[in-house]
Chains A and B, each alone.
Chain A
Amino acid sequence: MIRSAGHAATDDHSGMVVVDHLSKSFGAVHAVEDLSFAVGPGRVTGFLGPNGAGKTTTLRMLLGLVTPTSGSATIDGRPYREIARPLRVVGAALEAASFHPGRTARDHLRVYAPQVGVPDSRCDEVLAMTGLTEAARRRVGGFSLGMRQRLGLATTLLGDPRVLVLDEPANGLDPEGIAWLRSFLRHLAREGRTVLVSSHVLSEVQQTVDDVVIIARGRLVHSSSLAELDALTERAVTVLSPDGMGLRTLAEDRWPGRWETVDHPGAGAGTGAVLVRDVDAATVGAAAFAARVELHELATRTVDLEDVFLRLTGQAPAEGQSASTMGAVA
């Protein structure tokens, strides 16, 4: 691809974050194992995984703070440590506690301004962008968690970077703050920036992200657009019958491989409860009627995106219980 020299800033690497076979062990703890993914510009990417999945460790390796055991991570094709004036290329906020409590918000920003190469007036600008103008001259020690998150975000914006890396930026924000963050991140992505945000709950970023990278126990479990992840959601129907045997025979006959027995509070001797996937209640009801199986309950249960996330990351929701219980008995 040929581009004029005037557009050198938008070369092919521009805004690309690439994690390549990255691994990190802390002694016996394998925090990250053979993780690979890529994140592109113009989109908000959610980096998701439960507590301890390795999100922070991955981001710290990406930012040159932690040395990988093996593998590499690059931004714009270069390791972070080799980027000259990195704050002009990457803005990163890692945790809400990285402030000296005795410094004011404005002074916190002024400390890094020389290295970004911007005048102090830029500090006031980013304070205004993050709604901290009023608190600019207050000491950070007295800030709420939400205000610290905003100050962390303000710090990332100092150098007007192409790439933003934010570790759990929604932590501690009230609903209004989350809504604000959402539109702010969408706005940054629309400007063509790369936005990588981590979270341990999908629902928190579900309305913000275009793409998802999901990890669990240090390994990649899923990486796709949000739309593709959405396709993994499904409907399911739970049915309760006094004739447990008949119900299971019917389910195996009509929906082999798509049903399982489940615990049910209303179940008694001889009764049975079954969950059938990817089917609607009317179909199940009609089939039961035709097979003369008496039903006491017929309920639609949608498996939402959060359940998919939990299943992918091995934090199986309640419906998986029967299988694991059987496994334990055997």
Chain B
Amino acid sequence: MIAALRSELRKTMTTRMWWVLLLTMVVYMAFLAGVMAFSFAFEAPGAGAAGPGGEEGMALAPLDLALTVYTLAPTLGYVFPVIMGALSVSGEFRHMTVTPTLLAEPRRTVVLGAKLLAGLPIGLLYGVVGTLTTIGTGAAVLAALGEDPMLTDPEVLRTAALAVLAMTVWAVVGVGFGAALKNQVVAVVVVLAFTQLVEPVLRVALGLVESLQEVPKWLPGAAGEAIAGASFYSASGINELLPRWQGLVVLIGYALVLAAVGRLTTLRRDIT
């Protein structure tokens, strides 16, 4: 298993995809953090430490504002570790490197296990870089607008650390997803569509129906945000989040279920 894991990590690091996606994420996160910090801080000028945002629903207290900006990685940037994870499986089928991979390790469960584990350091890298980007950009913009970036608040630090954890788990979910849906193009399209469109729409739509209000927090995106403990959605009152530990369990559950589906479909088939 150690050998298979080392092999997987070498696979990732010897192609350009990991740093191309990482740079793209940095640009995207910096942009979102800057825009969001600017627009929220602007909407609530001088809201200061006075307390809960009064009549205006979108006005946030400094802590909530900081948390919302600093959790943009697990709220919107998680698509990058997911795609990295998915490519680690679907890329093998795209280039038929699955043949030498299974020649080196014919036990297919071991191959999948190694890929899931290899998702951890990749996700950690994306989590650290993504979270530092949102904190760096967000804090700079908040400070420039005269708001308190709250960088020494223990809740902010804890949330940042858990945002990294959420991103780490997301990479593993991506591996499971790639195993369940091995076609690379389809996998990337589905990831983008689900994370950027389907889930956000579902969360808003289901949130409006009283009897279904409890459903959105079990969706994978909401579970990831729950790990960090804050998000743009929860801060703006669109959805509630699960407790942190439940969010973690739910997201890991998604990863394992997808991986199991992949093991029973993609990885059971003949490799021809």
Contacts and interface: CB of A to CB of B under 8 A. Distances in A.
Interface of A: 26, 56-57, 60, 63-67, 80-81, 83, 86-87, 90, 92, 94-95, 97-104, 107-108, 110-112, 114-117, 155
Most chain B C-beta atoms within 10 Å of own C-beta, residue among A92, A101, A112: A112
15 contacts: A26-B272, A65-B102, A65-B103, A65-B270, A80-B106, A81-B106, A86-B106, A98-B96, A99-B97, A100-B14, A100-B15, A100-B97, A102-B15, A115-B105, A155-B100
Contacts of A67: 270
A104 B96 contact: no
A84 to B, nearest CB: 10
Interface residues of B, number: 26
B2 to A, nearest CB: 8
B196 interface: no
Contact of A117 (B3, B97, B271): B3
A86 B103 contact: yes
Given A67-B270, A95-B99, A115-B3, 7 more contacts: A56-B272, A65-B271, A86-B103, A87-B104, A98-B100, A102-B17, A111-B11
Contact of B14 (A26, A60, A97, A110): A110
Contacts of B11: 100, 111
A60 B15 contact: no
Contacts of B2: 114
A101 B7 contact: no
Q: Top 4 closest A-B pairs, CB basis? A: A107-B14, A114-B6, A115-B104, A65-B271
B270 to A, nearest CB: 4
Nearest to B103: A92
A145 to B, nearest CB: 15
Contact of B99 (A80, A94, A110): A94
B15 A103 contact: yes
A87 B103 contact: yes
Interface of B: 2-4, 6-7, 10-11, 14-17, 91, 95-97, 99-100, 102-107, 270-272
A100 B6 CA distance: 17
Contacts of B104: 86-87, 112, 115-116
A196 to B, nearest CB: 14
A63 B272 CA distance: 11
A81 B107 contact: yes
Given A57-B272, A104-B14, A65 B99 contact: yes
- Which has the most chain B C-beta neighbours within 10 Å: A60, A90, A94, A98? A98
A101 B95 contact: yes
A115 B15 CA distance: 19
Contacts of B100: 98, 112, 155
- Among B4, B6, B95, B103, the one with the most A-chain Cβ atoms within 10 Å of its Cβ is B103
Contacts of A94: 99
Nearest to A24: B270
Given A87-B104, A115-B7, A60 B270 contact: yes
A100 B96 CA distance: 8
Contact of B106 (A56, A57, A64, A102): A64
B272 A60 contact: yes
Contacts of A110: 10, 14
A312 to B, nearest CB: 26
Nearest to A100: B95
B271 A114 contact: no
Nearest to A94: B99
B272 to A, nearest CB: 6
Contacts of A101: 95
Given A114-B6, A114-B7, A63 B103 contact: yes
A103 B14 contact: yes
Contacts of A63: 103
A56 B270 CA distance: 13
Among B16, B97, B107, chain A packs the most CB atoms within 10 A around the CB of B97
A106 to B, nearest CB: 9
Nearest to B6: A114
A94 B106 CA distance: 15
A90 B103 CA distance: 9
Contacts of B103: 63, 65, 86-87, 90, 92
A104 B3 CA distance: 21
A148 to B, nearest CB: 12
Contacts of A95: 96, 99
A111 B96 contact: no
Contacts of A98: 95-97, 99-100
Nearest to A67: B270
